[in-house]
Amino acid sequence: MRRHRTTALGALASLLLAVLAALGSTTSARGSSEGAVPRLVFPLVAKTDLWDNYGDPRPNGRHAGIDMENPWRAPVVAVEDGRVEYAQSGLGGCMLYLYGRSGTMYLYIHLNNDLTAKNDNKGGCLADTTFAVPDGAKVTVGQQVAWVGDSGDANGNPHLHFEVHPNGGTDVDPFPFLKRAAKPLFAARTGSVFSLALRGDLVAAGAGTATLDVERVREYPGGHWLDVDSRPVELTAPLGTTVGPGIGPVIGGSARRLKAPVPVAAFTVKANTTPDAILGAPGELVLGRVAPVP
């Protein structure tokens, strides 16, 4: 594990990385020589309070990233394909570097170090407590790499501190990249088998589709219910599929919006994970069954 001492949660790291970049020792990109920051997948599967606090004055200096308020132990995901490296410091606590395929380096700080549902700080910075993948692992976009926590000087205030370093150099404001990032519906490695349970309001059906305003998601196997920012998700509904209580089966013709939203739990059929499936793109999730929610 790499031990990293931070000032302003990354200022010294930024200076060192800038020097290395000047010497030509930046992270190489597979398929990109420019190292431009690509459009990212958002680094969390969770309801998130996001605002631009990059550059804010802090007791230890300038704030080198963005702090996002989100639930303790929410899944933290890779924002692009790349390789991860564990790190640790007194201020940052449990941290993770993602060396992206584009050449951009991303830094995730204050990851989980608790073993129980209490703020016990007994877990250290370890696989299966802090990190969801091995040190040095190659990961795919949208794959879970860690869990949100409050390690380091964030003790008692769970949140994710996230930095963006183009070409592996000095930090830049992550806010514009996060604002236009595509939000994942769930976390999984490309090619793995998944199915989902979705809770929300059924708002439209017909023409082989059903659209839900989704507020909660559960991934199988092994997942648990997560609150997400409400979003419409269009599922493929094979003709004849009953999409909701009192609505009847999907038939041909145009999709129609329901007169009143119907609260439901929808379950997708098993499929292989793709980047588009992680984002809940139309046509990527196939509806298996629907159950009413009281």
DSSP for 160-222, written as a single string: EEEEEEGGG-S-B--HHHHHTPBPPSS---TT-EEEEEEEEEEEEEETTEEEEEEEEEEEETT
Query: Cα dist. 6→9, 12, 92, 94, 143 in Å?
Result: 5, 6, 7, 12, 26
Q: Tell whether 151 and 208 lie within a shared domain.
A: no
Q: 55 and 162: one domain?
A: yes
**Count of domains forming the chain:** 2
Residue where a domain terminates, one of 179, 201, 227: 179
The DSSP symbol for 7 reads S
Asked if residue 184 belongs to a domain, the reply is: no
Both 12 and 36 in one domain: the answer is: yes
Cα–Cα distances in angstroms (integers) from residue 224 to residues 47, 113, 181, 231, in the given order: 15, 20, 24, 19
Asked which of 179, 210, 243 is the last residue of a domain, the reply is: 179
Same domain, 101 and 238: no
- Tens-binned pLDDT, residue by residue, of the chain (294 aa): 554 434 444 444 443 344 334 333 333 333 333 458 999 999 999 988 887 877 666 667 665 788 888 888 999 999 999 999 999 988 889 999 999 999 999 999 999 999 998 899 999 999 999 999 999 999 999 999 999 999 988 888 889 999 999 999 888 999 999 999 999 999 999 999 999 999 999 998 887 888 999 999 999 988 899 999 999 999 998 766 666 555 555 545 556 788 889 899 999 999 999 999 999 999 899 999 888 887
In DSSP terms, which residues pair with 244 in a beta bridge?
Answer: none
Residue numbers of the domain that contains 117: 2-179
Decide if 101 is inside a domain.
Answer: yes
**Residue 49: C-alpha distances to residues 55, 69, 133, 144, 172 (Å):** 18, 5, 26, 20, 20
Residue 13 three-state SS: helix
Query: Do 118 and 243 belong to one domain?
Result: no
Residue at which a domain ends, from 131, 148, 179: 179
Task: Tell whether 122 and 267 lie within a shared domain.
Answer: no
Give the list of residues 6+ apart from residue 78 with CB closer than 8 angstroms, or none: 41, 43, 84, 98, 139, 140, 141, 142, 143, 145
Within 10 Å of residue 127's Cβ, how many Cβ atoms? 13
Question: Which residue(s) pair with 58 in the sheet?
Answer: 61
Q: What are the C-alpha distances in Å from 266 to residues 217, 237, 281, 283?
A: 10, 11, 16, 15
Residues 120 and 65 in one domain: yes
